[in-house]
Structure 1
């Protein structure tokens, strides 16, 4: 099977086609120095959706914590630290995942053009890249309080085991959700120095959200996964996927509402969650699991979920602050 990038004739000057699900004309392919491109692709810098999905639970949690203490807006410095951390740790996680999966990726059309299986980056260089990005992430982490530092370090166990899960369980998306949404705990901890039920519920809801959207994403690879003997929730749910994804999304919405209630949010937050519910309903009602492009578009639409929840929480901080002045 040929990768889509090669079929589209999109090759850089080294003859290496872009990976299949990168947007045509993305900034890496257009502007990055040629020698950097394999590493930027390894870190998924040409596909920023994963960074957004990792970052938003962090920003939600920071802002929810600010609502709970009546501050007028989330700390910009803290938002910046989480943004840098999400960028480099998502890159490190993707590079590590590609290192572990390099033999499988070489046999799948959608992933055959990734830097390691295509020979653009050696496995040893990929591991060195993981270490370098992880060190940057650690330098970001030490700006936070001790509790948050320790909390962040504990997430590494989940990150380490995730790439192996699809070899052993049909529910690897659960482990991905647990690892990918750790920021929903860390944001609150960074602001308050401890945890409470509100961030725990925010985290639980975000885990369900991830299981839902990654199940949609996994439907792009069901044929290849069957051929390779790999497992996923997409294979488990099959034609019942819309029901299951819808159920996970409903659970996420209810848990986010409960988190907001415990943190003292106002009507604007609940209105934002309601709008998100409509967007999720669109995803489920129009999902065609047999159409890879359809699945990819609905997966990418989850960035809108992140934006809507974050903006609703920011608006809520202003209302909380104003109410405190009244």
Structure 2
């Protein structure tokens, strides 16, 4: 069997390993009707374990190893495919660790942290899980879309997505990680890992170790196209696209009440009727429940396997765009109109805001 065939076989085995966790947590397995939050949480508590998440993460890395072989032995098309697959793999790993941060990847709290650190944060050069938990769980979730409080909104503002932005500045902001400023920010973030207390130096060399290992065991093509290029440019752009479609960042409806009511006014639901685009998004840039961000925002302790079922029992959100870019209701067009409206309102405080 040739090296390319071995790589493709590794990808297939990696996909199969990931299905172990999917099958174990599947709401379709067994006689269950997860049609309410209580039913979902009962089923989730029964099935949380410390074994299947290991298979899930092993499968992701085995797939990436397979794509390394494709990059080395597949020619230019193999390098291209490996770069895209690497970016998608890193998005999957990011979202997997996201649920570890929420404490629902595995049953053990310590294992959640260990898996997230060992399989995602250290090799990819992310901040410590404790820092991620503070920023995401404590600062972002209760304060989503609130200027001056939400760290995610601050990232968007720093990229130029703020009232008063010109059309050109707005367009650049939507692809910020691919711009020189965005790429520099990614590199600066990796370099800043050295200053993290406790594990700064080992954490900073994590991506260097992975890059070296890929180059030694597979070849320079694997290091460049399956790791460096996706990690520095392609994956950050996919993560940025995900951030853009999580909330109505610039025109949320403020509402008081239970979490479902609050989140219905500041979340959105992309591709509500286009099953093909929804399936593509779930497999690539909005994996592991990221397409169901409203349900996740309303109930952050629910594992991704049960978010589709939970979403069906919730009311909202009102904004359910059919596209990211094209069409009057597209997310990026609405964001642009909202920023223009906010800019006009600042210029003329007596004028009513328009969408």
Report the TM-score, using the length of structure 2 for normalisation: 0.28
Structure showing greater Rg:
2
Which structure would you say has the larger RCO, counting Cα contacts within 8 Å and 6 or more residues apart?
1
Higher helix share: 1
